[in-house]
Amino acid sequence: MQLLLIHSDYIEYETKKQTPVAEKIEDSLKSGRLEEALTVFTAVESVDEANPEEAIEKAASEIEKVAAQVKTNRIMLYPYAHLSSDLSSPKIAVQVLKGIETALSGKYEVKRSPFGWYKAFTVSCKGHPLSELSRSIRPEGTTKAAAKPEASGEKEEVVSEALKAEGTARS
């Protein structure tokens, strides 16, 4: 799973049109808005299909860490296929997105924009050094880790993310 986390003044969306795989939704999901929120653009990937529960748990944990860093308790989950060239099936994507929503709902105000719809959206990124972060979530035992080891320390992560955010790092 690929996550792009934007600390946002606001995020709002409005469904425009279904694609052939549009999630069936209640009217309440047709539009949404959160202010002072963490927007989590999310691409569920084929690597997540073997163990969706593990993917949900790891993603929720990463999102919690970033929400704590930027001190928000509002989260907008937003499906975003353009973050990956190796996507999961739509069925697994919806399962994982709903799973993350459920995992976070006890502790946060969570909204989720629907999968499989053309949507208009506006997002406002705050622009501070932690306001744009990306995370790769990978199953245990695969090469790309979900996050750097704790031992590498917060500062190193912040610097690394700062560089990444501005196109500097070679990985």
Structure tokens, 110: 């969570």
Q: Which is nearer to its own copies, 73 or 131 (CB)?
A: 131
Sketch the per residue contact string, 8 through 37, with its own copies: x for CB under 8 A, - otherwise. Answer: -x----x-xx-xxxx---------------
Give counts: helices (H), strands (E), the chain: 3, 6
Q: Which residue, among 5, 1, 2, has the nearest Cα to 161 in the 3D structure?
A: 5
Question: d(Cα 134, Cα 21) in Å, to the nearest integer?
Answer: 27
Residues 73-102 contacting its own copies, CB under 8 A? 79-83, 85-87, 89-90, 93
DSSP string, 19-47: -TTPPP--GGGSEEEEEEEEEEEEE-BGG
Q: How many residues bind its own copies (CB under 8 A)?
A: 52
Sketch the per residue contact string, 53 through 72, with its own copies: x for CB under 8 A, - otherwise. Answer: --------------------
Stretch that binds its own copies, among 51-59, 102-110, 131-139, 150-158 (CB under 8 A): 131-139
- Residues 132, 5 contacting (CB under 8 angstroms): yes
Q: Which is nearer to its own copies, 85 or 106 (CB)?
A: 85
Q: Which residue, among 159, 162, 93, has the nearest Cα to 128 in the 3D structure?
A: 162
- Residues 97, 112 contacting (CB under 8 angstroms): yes
Stretch that binds its own copies, among 57-65, 66-74, 98-106, 110-118 (CB under 8 A): 110-118
Positions touching its own copies (CB under 8 A) are 4, 9, 14, 16-17, 19-22, 43-44, 46, 79-83, 85-87, 89-90, 93, 115-129, 131-132, 134, 136, 162-171
